C-alpha cells in the first residue's frame, strides 16, 4: 500500500503580493523552499487561512532572503497581500519508506522569516 504523506510545509506565511497577469504558480523565497525541502516547479497545496480557499499550484523560486510569497495567475484570485497561507507538498510512500520519512515543517513570522 502507498500513502500520501506531508513532506514539506511552510506554516502561516504572509502573502506579499498577488499578480493575476502572470501565467500561474506561487513564487516562494528560495530560503523557505530549501528549508521546507520543496523544489522549484513542485506541486504544492496552498491553504489560505484568511479566506478558507485551497488551491493546487506549483512553486517558483523567488529571491533568497526576500520573504516573497506571491500568488500568480489564477491563484491570485484566491488571496491577496496580507493573507496568511500554509504551503504544503506531499510524497507518496510505501510502508517501509513511511517509517523513515520526516516531514520538514518551517514556521515563519509575519515577514516570512524562519522562526523555527
Write out the DSSP string of 30-89: HHHHHHHTPPTT-EEEEEETTT--EEEEEEEEEPTTS--EEEEGGGGGG--TT-EEEEEE
* Structure-block grid coordinates of residue 96: 517501509
pLDDT for the residue 23: 76
pLDDT digits (tens, 9 = 90+) for 6-56: 999 999 999 999 999 987 799 999 999 999 999 999 999 999 999 999 999
pLDDT digits (tens, 9 = 90+) for 94-103: 999 999 999 9
Q: What is the DSSP letter of 19?
A: E
3.30.160.60, 2.40.128.20, 3.40.50.2300, 2.40.40.20: CATH of 2-92: 2.40.40.20
Whether the model pTM is above 0.75: yes
Q: Catalytic residues, which ones?
A: 25, 58
pLDDT for the residue 22: 85
Kindly state the average pLDDT of the residues 75-80: 96
Amino acid at each position: 500500500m502507498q500513502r500520501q504523506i506531508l513532506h514539506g510545509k511552510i506554516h502561516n506565511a504572509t502573502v506579499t503580493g498577488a499578480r493575476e497577469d502572470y501565467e500561474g504558480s506561487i513564487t516562494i523565497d528560495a530560503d523557505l523552499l530549501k528549508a521546507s525541502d520543496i523544489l522549484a516547479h513542485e506541486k504544492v497545496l496552498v491553504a489560505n487561512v484568511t479566506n478558507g480557499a485551497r488551491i493546487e499550484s506549483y512553486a517558483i523560486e523567488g529571491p533568497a532572503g526576500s520573504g516573497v510569497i506571491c500568488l500568480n495567475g489564477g491563484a491570485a484570485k484566491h488571496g491577496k497581500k496580507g493573507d496568511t497561507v500554509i504551503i504544503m507538498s506531499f510524497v507518496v510512500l510505501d510502508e517501509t519508506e513511511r517509517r523513515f520519512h520526516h516531514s520538514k515543517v518551517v514556521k515563519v513570522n509575519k515577514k516570512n522569516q524562519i522562526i523555527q
